[in-house]
Amino acid sequence: MSKESPSSPVTLEGVIDRFSFRNPDSGWAVLKLIEATSGRVVTAVGPMAGLKEGQRLRVTGEEDSHPKFGPQLKVDTFEAIAPSSAAGIEAYLASGLVKGIGPATAEKIVNEFGEDTLRIIEHEPDKLKTLRGLGEKKIAELSEAVKAQKDLQNVLVFLRSHGLGAGLAARITKRYGANASAMVEANPYRLADDVIGVGFRIADRLAGQIGIDPSAPERFDAALEFVLGQAAREGHCYLPEAALLRRTSELLSCDEAALRVRLPELATAGRIARQLPPGPVLLHDDPQPVIYPAALAEAEDGVSRAINKLILGKHEKLPVQAESAVKWFTQVSGMELAESQSAAIVRALSEPVSIITGGPGVGKTTIVRALVQILEQKELTLVLAAPTGRAAKRLEESTGLAASTLHRLLEFTPGANRFARDEKNPLEGDMLVVDEASMLDVQLAYALLLAVPPTMKLVLVGDQNQLPSVGPGNVLADILASGRVAASALTRIFRQQKDSDIVRVAHGMLKGEIPTSGGENGDFFFVEANDSRQARALLREMVGSRIPRKFGFDPMRDIQVLCPMYRGEVGADALNRDLQDLLNPGQIEVERNGKRYRVGDKVMQIRNDYDREVWNGDVGQLTHIDKQAAKVYLRFPEREHQYGFEELGDLLPAYAISVHRSQGSEYTAVVIPITTDHFLMLRRSLVYTAVTRGKKLVVLVGSRKALEMAVKNNDDGKRWSGLCERLRDLKREDGVHPRLRAEEFDAPQ
């Protein structure tokens, strides 16, 4: 069957009769347009910001037919035309342009001035004073509103003329208002900082169209900050100056010397921090400066000083005899604790800051449960938190005590982009336990530590062998490596976990052992495939039939595919399409950004949404699509929400997700493709993290060669982070003996 050729664009002109739906944030709208030539009513759907009922409108788009709502025009471009007829002007003024100007007042104004009404309102508003019921304030408001509408339309036309999509143009207009054109022309690079969806490359293209000199200082500054931002997204807190200059010169195809002269200016303006590399410097060394984004320099230094302050500060001891409390817990629980577990509990009760780290099956959860019971028995307050909603829910389920996300605990305010809890408004309680601490990036860690008072003990729980945080820094590993904080490293696998192949495989990988399948009734399997195409077919079979038939797991609810990357034959994108067609075929769907969304789909939120209280990594089900209103409806575990079509970029199909997005989660069954296609991502920490996400079943599908490559590769790549050295520097400064990592470790079983 030949592919249908796209239909030719259609241009219509008419008057807006009414809006069926509109989103003021994105400009997305569904409206009824009365066509000027025929009088027929056309449904227009798409990004159309800043419009009012009664306005004359020219739209261009593609004709489509909705199965429920019939013919509609999917708008690509639009242009507002000032209404010229008396009836059009009257409808325009009566549409809610100004509060207090309704149909009656609009009719009165138009009866007086006719088709000249808009010109009079804009340029000769004093003439309106002759009308009874219109005071000076209302006249001024009306005049300003008409001018603002005209200005906004001019802004949209300006931005669209420079190749920006309607949705992006609408966001820029909303951010800057009627001054958008002037602000963009003065410095288009500010868009990269101020408007979501505008990166350096879009801003740079716009700058070229406007005529900004390629050697303009603002271009060099924006490029340097863009490269630092890219590095931060790769996990780096800073870049060596030489690396920053090299990357930026390659981006701009310019000489490094022209960029180097901009660094002092950026530093003086407080946009970057130019420092000597953290750590000791010998006299014969010639240290090269390092460059931080200003916010990351502040965060990294703040974390080190906050930890130092907590350790050295005058902190109150808990009214608990730690050793006696451990004995009490073993008696009331009937549990026998390992020596390392007992030592970890004592350390948590005694030290101002402590760390508990270890892999699966070593009893970290038991320690947290013990702390919960001990503090409850002493009528002390224990606060539980984790970086993500999924991790917080797991913590709550395992302890029986309420747990929250760190953002909720610290009372994050999205509009102000700040936490209400800080050193002036600290947290309350006797102890704070933060689970999945490997997920802490340096900025979130800084916000957390600022809010921890000296009267509150802090316990970080995590697995240092997991993938590091998605955000910049390597906080848990750096703190451990510094030797500054008392730490308990748990290695003993407990009796109830020894029969788990998942636990066996995970701990074996840390020692460089290649995983092997367990027995017929085991919980870990490696299914070999000759190539990526076969691996893809096997994976579909595993999820669709073999695992559900053998283990009784529901493929939608219980099975999660975890991929090293999104692209490729067995990347998450391709597998999502496969599994969507396999598990959820033939449903009502909408397509955005190359992704298909269907009723019944499993979807994942990929950005924190503080208004909805839906967090990055939360998984829900798409329950309804309303194409007429341009909305989808989703059910999450705790609540239901609706999203506009323009917000679908915040959601990804979640039949298959990246290993990185699985951090902090556990799934009943996990299926992991691993092939040499993924060679750039094949590292021990990645496969280890994926394997440890499975509770009852883990299946690896792919190449033994790829698996061996991953397990043998224990080099996760250096993250440029100075936290470890900063902590060591403070140790040298304060003259206090370092807190050594505890040596009471159990031998691996």
Rounded CA-CA distance 733/228 in Å is 30
Long-range contact pairs involving 573-582 (C-beta distance under 8 Å, separation at least 24): 574/536, 575/536, 575/539, 575/655, 575/656, 575/673, 576/652, 576/653, 576/654, 576/655, 576/656, 578/536, 578/539, 578/540, 579/540, 579/543, 579/544, 579/655, 579/656, 580/653, 580/655, 582/540, 582/543, 582/544
Per residue in 478-530, pLDDT tens?
999 999 999 999 988 875 566 789 999 999 999 999 998 877 888 999 999 98
Q: What was the pLDDT predicted at 583? A: 95
Lowest mean pLDDT among 240-249, 295-304, 447-456, 463-472: 463-472
pLDDT of residue 695: 92
Query: DSSP 3-state assignment of 702?
Result: strand
What's the token pair of residue 41? 């009513």
Least confident piece of the model among 172-186, 263-277, 710-724: 172-186
Residue 445 has pLDDT above 90, yes or no: yes
Task: List the single range of 53-62, 85-94, 114-123, 219-228 with lowest mean pLDDT.
Answer: 85-94
Average pLDDT, the chain: 86
- Phi, psi (degrees; rounded to nearest 5) at 412: -70, 135
Mean pLDDT check: name the lowest of 28-37, 236-245, 417-426: 28-37
Mean pLDDT of 157-175: 70
Picking from 552, 579, 551, 557, the residue whose alpha carbon sits closest to that of residue 673 is 579
Q: Using an 8 Å Cβ cutoff, are 72 and 45 in contact?
A: yes
Paired tokens of 178: 């009627």
Q: What pLDDT score was predicted for residue 749?
A: 34
Please state the rounded mean pLDDT for residues 201-207: 87
Overall average pLDDT of the 402-418 stretch: 87
Average pLDDT over residues 233-253: 94
- Cβ burial, residue 129 (10 Å; 0-12/13-18/19+): exposed
Check whether 668 has a pLDDT greater than 90: yes
- Amino acid in the structure at residue 399: T
Pairing status of strand 272-275 against strand 631-635: unpaired
Tokens of 710: 């991953």
Which of 679, 681, 661 is CA-nearest to residue 670?
661
Least confident of 275-279, 359-363, 431-435, 543-547: 275-279
Work out the widest C-alpha separation in the chain, in whole angstroms: 94
Q: Is the pLDDT of residue 304 over 90?
A: yes
Quick one: average pLDDT of 565-586?
92
Determine the average pLDDT of the residues in 392-397: 91
Mean pLDDT of 142-162: 73
Q: Which string of DSSP letters, residue by residue, matches 499-544?
A: T-HHHHHHHHHHTTPPP----TT-SEEEEE-SSHHHHHHHHHHIII
> What pLDDT does residue 132 have?
81
pLDDT in tens, 270-292: 999 999 887 765 555 667 899 99
Give yes or no for residue 6 having a pLDDT over 90. Answer: no
Distances (CA, A) of 605 to 393, 473, 554, 610, 697: 16, 23, 22, 12, 25
pLDDT, position 479: 96
pLDDT at 602: 94
Q: Note whether 648 and 625 are within 8 A (CB).
A: no
| Other residues' Cβ atoms within 10 Å of the Cβ of residue 510 | 17
What is the pTM for the complete model shown?
0.78
Residue type, 218: E
What pLDDT sits at residue 91?
75
Q: Give the mean pLDDT of 454-463.
A: 95
Helix H segments across 589-740? 684-691, 704-712, 723-734
**pLDDT band for position 71 (cuts 50, 70, 90):** confident
CA distances from 417 to 296, 303, 410, 420 (A): 16, 19, 12, 10
The answer to whether 440 and 475 are in contact (CB under 8 A) is: yes
Token pair 């959820």 in the structure block, residue:
584
Which three-class secondary structure state does DSSP give residue 609?
strand
To the nearest 10°, the Cα dihedral for 294, 296, 300, 301? 10
Rounded to whole angstroms, the Cα distance separating 281 from 611 reads 47
How many other C-beta atoms can be found within 10 angstroms of the C-beta atom of residue 32? 16
pLDDT at 724 over 60: yes
Alpha carbons 480 and 231: distance in angstroms, whole number: 23
Percent of residues, the chain, with pLDDT higher than 90: 49
H/E run at residue 548:
helix 547-551
Q: What six digits make up the tokens of 473?
A: 């820094």
Residue 4 has pLDDT above 90, yes or no: no
Higher model confidence: residue 697 or residue 663?
697
CB 600 within 8 A of CB 587: yes
pLDDT at position 308 is 92
Sorted by sequence, the CB contacts under 8 Å of residue 456 that are 6+ apart come out as 426, 427, 428, 429, 430, 431, 432
Query: Confidence band (pLDDT; 50, 70, 90) for 137?
Result: confident
Distances (CA, A) of 708 to 214, 675, 683: 48, 10, 10
Residues constituting the chain: 749
More confident residue, 746 or 319: 319
Q: How confident is the model at residue 63 (pLDDT cuts 50, 70, 90)?
A: confident
> What is the pLDDT averaged over residues 40-46?
89
Q: Which residue has the tokens 């304060």?
A: 734
Higher pLDDT residue, 168 or 534? 534
**The 3-state secondary structure of 576-587, one letter per residue:** HHHHHHHHCCCC
Residue with more model confidence, 334 or 244: 244
Q: Is 741 left (phi over 0), alpha (psi -120 to 50) or beta?
A: beta
- Indicate if the pLDDT at residue 737 is higher than 50: no
| pLDDT digit string, tens, across residues 600-633 | 999 999 877 777 878 777 889 999 998 777 789 9
When mean pLDDT is compared over 27-36, 176-185, 556-565, the highest value belongs to: 556-565
Winning range, highest mean pLDDT, from 49-63, 142-156, 241-255, 623-637: 241-255
CA-nearest of 394, 395, 363 to 382 is 395
**pLDDT number for residue 739:** 33
Q: What is the CB-side half-sphere exposure of residue 87 using CA atoms within 13 A?
A: 4
Are 36 and 59 in contact by the 8 Å Cβ rule? The answer is: no
